[in-house]
């Protein structure tokens, strides 16, 4: 997807993470493209295909990182006669391809709760689950960070100007992580 630019720079919602997060939230899926959008159906289809390709590219990248460790054949050597024949032990892939997982997800996501959906379907769609956990972990606002800065301003007053950076960081950590 091309990233439109403004006078100030790149538009905030042109980042692919936002698009992937919107699609991988089962409450939305592709509803935001399909309904109430006054553009040509051909353009909607093109946008849908681009978003699917973004997700599939990341799924392939995730699979490439994971297959380097555990999908290799294990071989057990022994005598060639009797019970101790040469055996090949292979891990069988019980999961669909990322494209099949994406199609299954798009068929089943219809306004469901995000946490419940991914909790129940993480074994059925492991590639999409990994992507969903990565992109849905991005906070939607900067409010938590602003609260931390506010606590830092309350703690660091003029009469506490001799606090070291480590002590200040520990005090802020304690303040922000208590119930």
Residue with tokens 């379907």, as numbered in its chain: 121
- List of residues 6+ apart from 76 with CB closer than 8 A: 86, 87, 89
Could you tell me the pLDDT band of residue 170, with boundaries at 50, 70 and 90?
very high
Return the ∠ at Cα 108 (arms to 18 and 135), rounded to 5°: 20
Which tens digit of pLDDT belongs to each residue from 17-36?
Answer: 878 888 888 888 887 777 66
Domain limits of the chain?
12-136, 143-176
pLDDT of 29 reads 83
The whole-number pLDDT of residue 171 equals 93
Q: Is the pLDDT of residue 12 over 90?
A: no
pLDDT band at 168 (very low <50, low <70, confident <90, very high): very high
0.95 surpassed by pTM:
no
Higher pLDDT: 166 or 73? It is 166
pLDDT of 83-113, one tens digit each? 555 555 544 444 578 888 888 888 888 878 8
The reported pLDDT for the residue numbered 10 is: 56
Residue 42: pLDDT band by 50, 70, 90 thresholds?
confident
- Please check the confidence at residue 53 and state whether its pLDDT lies above 80: yes
Q: Percent of the chain at pLDDT above 90? A: 9
């Amino acid at each position: 997807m091309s990233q439109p630019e403004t006078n100030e720079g790149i538009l905030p919602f042109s980042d692919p993470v936002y698009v992937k997060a919107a699609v991988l939230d089962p409450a939305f899926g592709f509803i935001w493209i399909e309904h109430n959008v006054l553009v040509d159906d051909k353009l909607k289809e093109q946008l849908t295909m681009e978003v699917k390709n973004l997700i599939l590219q990341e799924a392939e990248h995730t699979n490439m990182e994971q297959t380097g460790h555990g999908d290799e054949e294990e071989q057990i050597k022994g005598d060639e006669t009797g019970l101790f024949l040469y055996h090949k032990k292979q891990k069988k892939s019980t999961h669909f391809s990322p494209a099949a997982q994406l199609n299954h997800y798009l068929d089943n996501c219809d306004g469901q709760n995000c946490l419940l959906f991914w909790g129940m379907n993480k074994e059925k769609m492991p590639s999409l689950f990994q992507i969903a956990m990565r992109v849905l972990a991005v906070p939607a606002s900067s409010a938590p960070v602003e609260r931390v800065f506010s606590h830092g301003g309350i703690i660091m007053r003029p009469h506490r100007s001799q606090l070291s950076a480590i002590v200040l960081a520990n005090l802020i950590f304690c303040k922000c992580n208590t119930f």
